Amino acid sequence: MLKGNGLSVSPQLTVSVNQDELETLKNYKLNAEDSTASFNNGTKSKLAEHFQADLIYNGLRAAAADGALKQREIDGISALAKKLGMADEKFQDILALYKEEEDERQKRIAFLFPKPYGETVAAIDHHYGR
């Protein structure tokens, strides 16, 4: 087992990896590079702006996965958007889009499943004689 900076590489891996790649892995330093750099418009990547928007939008969705998007989560994602070079106006547009889509999703759920969850489970249990 090769080790370097807390990174372990199994011997099986050495069969398909050349020596330069192995040295890179052994010398890798965690958090030594800015992982947001590839999403920053400053890199002059024409796709960066599109990736930024997608990253921020999906960040909002992930933060709300527990059922609520909290203000501190919005603030954290907003800070990331700024670090990526996104204008606050664009962030606010993405946040508004997320909220509109979430409102529509809630309406769809209420329309398609009008009975509360507990009643639905009770009806299923009754149907199957549980």
Tokens matching residue 34: 């800015």
Q: Confirm whether pTM is higher than 0.75.
A: no
pLDDT bucket at 14, cuts 50 / 70 / 90? very low
Phi, psi torsion values for 42, nearest 5 degrees: -65, -15
d(CA 21, CA 61): 36
pLDDT at 77: 96
Per-residue pLDDT tens digits for 97-119: 999 999 999 899 888 888 887 88
pLDDT of residue 124: 86
Nearest to 54 by CA among 117, 97, 4, 105: 97
3-state secondary structure of 9: strand
Work out the burial of residue 107: count CB atoms within 10 Å of its CB; fewer than 13 is exposed, 13-18 middle, 19 or more buried: exposed
Both structure tokens of 84: 């990526």
